[in-house]
Amino acid sequence: MPHHVPPLRIALIGHGFMGAAHSQGWRVAPRFHDLPAQPEMTLLVGRHAAGVDASAAQWGWNETSTDWRAAVERDDIDVVDIVTPGGSHAEIAIAALEAGKHVLCEKPLANTLEEAEAMAAAAERAGKDVFAMVGFTYRRVPAAAFARDLVRSGAVGEIRHVRAAYLQDWLHDAEAPLSWRLQQEHAGSGALGDLGAHAVDLAQFITGQQVTGVSGLLHTFVHERPLPGLESGRGAVSVDDAALFTGRYTGGAIGSFEATRMATGRKNSLRIEVSGSHGAISFDLENFNSLGFYDATAPGTRQGFTNIMVTEPEHPYMSAWWPTGHPLGYEHGFVHQAKDFVEAVAQGRQPEPSFADGYQVQRVLDGVQRSSAQHSVWTETL
């Protein structure tokens, strides 16, 4: 990389679970990928000084702050990376874009459709030299990206049916404590936004089609949970525990979606199956490094799902990593996200998925909420 290329100086707002994942991405990406600009871990921002100082020391950030507003105004910050709960995404992202900063924002884009629309509009107003991307990281899993490539190549033919399910079980215990993810004012929705957003984006990414309408059902199984830490008493759960919905795609396919944090025994299973006229693909995040492929054009004696190990240098992202057959893990998606973001910004092109893409996913989630609330059969989302 030429030394005259200026670095991209990052301010990360938030330092919880996603703070660790994004920090790993920024730190590792330039060490394995030949990037056109060097990401510099300049500033970590959190609400409490002691906590943010400890996180910065652990993850390798140069400075800390407790004031995100001052951070987005700093001249020595080029990128604002937002990993806070969804209730603050819109305020921070819009301020950063108006300050001329590139923005990476965790999913779902916002807590409400109105906030997501405002964020997409702010990204549009920011001009052609300021870029914003939403962090649908599972697009960067090599097996998922290879599934997209197979579909684009025509390997499954005309897509007819898409099944997407994101299954977790961390709330199956009714005595699991209350957290911000279970409060509407912080999270917007429950399993629908937390997990369903990923299922919708990945299904659309792999198929190249958008969801045009939905019919949905949201349900909360446990309405009160113990308050966390040393607090006594119980607090209200104000979001869904599970979401089920069906949908139609722009290319004529139909789809089913499930998002739940009550799937006892499933820890982090994001499952996508695409059935077409010539074949099918099957992906499960719990089997991270492989992809199922069925070739319906093969002789009957050789038909059946093939397990493809997505560890070859010819597979998406894999050439930068280990020798053939050596698998990757969850954190590598964030490395690939940092790589893709830096490359797009340095080359002056819009990174994907854009805020407009995030807003489109939010329209689908909003359609599910409205369909469930109104007990309606169908809700248009495009």
Instruction: Please state, in angstroms and rounded to a whole number, the distance separating the CA atoms of residues 238 and 252.
Output: 35
User: Among residues 138, 157, 173, which one ends one of the domains?
Assistant: 138
Are residues 191 and 331 both part of a single domain? yes
CA 118, 120, 123, 127 dihedral sign is: negative
Are residues 97 and 28 both part of a single domain? yes
Three-state DSSP class for residue 335? helix
pLDDT by residue for the chain (382 residues), tens only, comes to: 445 689 999 999 999 999 999 999 999 999 999 999 999 999 999 999 999 999 999 999 999 999 999 999 999 999 999 999 999 999 999 999 999 999 999 999 999 999 999 999 999 999 899 999 999 999 999 999 999 999 999 999 999 999 999 999 999 999 999 999 999 999 999 999 999 999 999 999 999 999 999 999 999 999 999 999 878 899 999 999 999 999 999 999 999 999 999 999 999 999 999 999 999 999 999 999 999 999 999 999 999 999 999 999 999 999 999 999 999 999 999 999 999 999 999 999 999 999 999 999 999 999 999 999 999 888 999 8
Are residues 283 and 302 both part of a single domain? yes
Are residues 180 and 301 both part of a single domain? yes
Instruction: Please state, in angstroms and rounded to a whole number, the distance separating the CA atoms of residues 199 and 163.
Output: 9
The pLDDT score that the predictor gives to residue 382 is 85
Task: Note whether 106 and 337 are within 8 A (CB).
Answer: no
Decide: residue 53, CB within 10 A, 0-12 exposed, 13-18 middle, 19+ buried: middle
Task: Note whether 151 and 207 are within 8 A (CB).
Answer: yes
Structure tokens that stand for 209 in this block: 């089609």
122-159 burial code (b ≥16 CB/10 A, e <16): bbeebeeebbbbbbbbbbbbbbbbbbbebbeeebbeeb
For the beta sheet containing 132-135, the strands, ordered from the edge strand earlier in sequence to the opposite edge, are: 63-65, 39-45, 8-13, 79-82, 102-106, 132-135
Task: Note whether 73 and 45 are within 8 A (CB).
Answer: no
Phi-psi region at 188: left, alpha or beta (left = phi > 0; alpha = psi -120 to 50):
left
The pLDDT score that the predictor gives to residue 1 is 46
Q: How many helices (H) and strands (E) does the chain have?
A: 11, 17
Structure tokens that stand for 181 in this block: 């993810």
The pLDDT score that the predictor gives to residue 3 is 52
Are residues 133 and 246 both part of a single domain? no
Backbone phi and psi for residue 195, each to the nearest 5 degrees, phi listed first: -110, -40
Q: Which contacts qualify for 173-177: CB closer than 8 Å, 24 or more apart?
A: 174/221, 174/222, 174/225, 175/225, 175/226, 176/225, 177/225, 177/226, 177/227, 177/228, 177/229
CA dihedral 286, 287, 288, 289 (to 10 degrees): 170
Domain assignment of residue 380, yes or no? no
Domain assignment of residue 146, yes or no? yes
179-209 pLDDT, tens digit each:
999 999 999 999 999 999 999 999 999 999 9
| First-to-final CA distance of the chain | 43
Q: How many domains does the chain have?
A: 2
Domain assignment of residue 300, yes or no? yes
Domain assignment of residue 212, yes or no? yes
Are residues 253 and 302 both part of a single domain? yes
Are residues 130 and 147 both part of a single domain? no
CATH code of the domain in which 118 resides: 3.40.50.720
Domain assignment of residue 156, yes or no? yes
Are residues 123 and 196 both part of a single domain? no
Instruction: Please state, in angstroms and rounded to a whole number, the distance separating the CA atoms of residues 105 and 93.
Output: 7
Are residues 331 and 193 both part of a single domain? yes
Domain assignment of residue 261, yes or no? yes
Q: Please, what is the angle between helix 17-32 and helix 49-59, to 10°?
A: 30
Are residues 306 and 178 both part of a single domain? yes
Are residues 366 and 329 both part of a single domain? yes
The pLDDT score that the predictor gives to residue 231 is 82
CATH code of the domain in which 191 resides: 3.30.360.10
Domain assignment of residue 294, yes or no? yes
Domain assignment of residue 1, yes or no? no
Are residues 133 and 230 both part of a single domain? no
pTM of the model: 0.96
Range of the domain at 54: 8-138
User: Among residues 113, 138, 163, which one ends one of the domains?
Assistant: 138
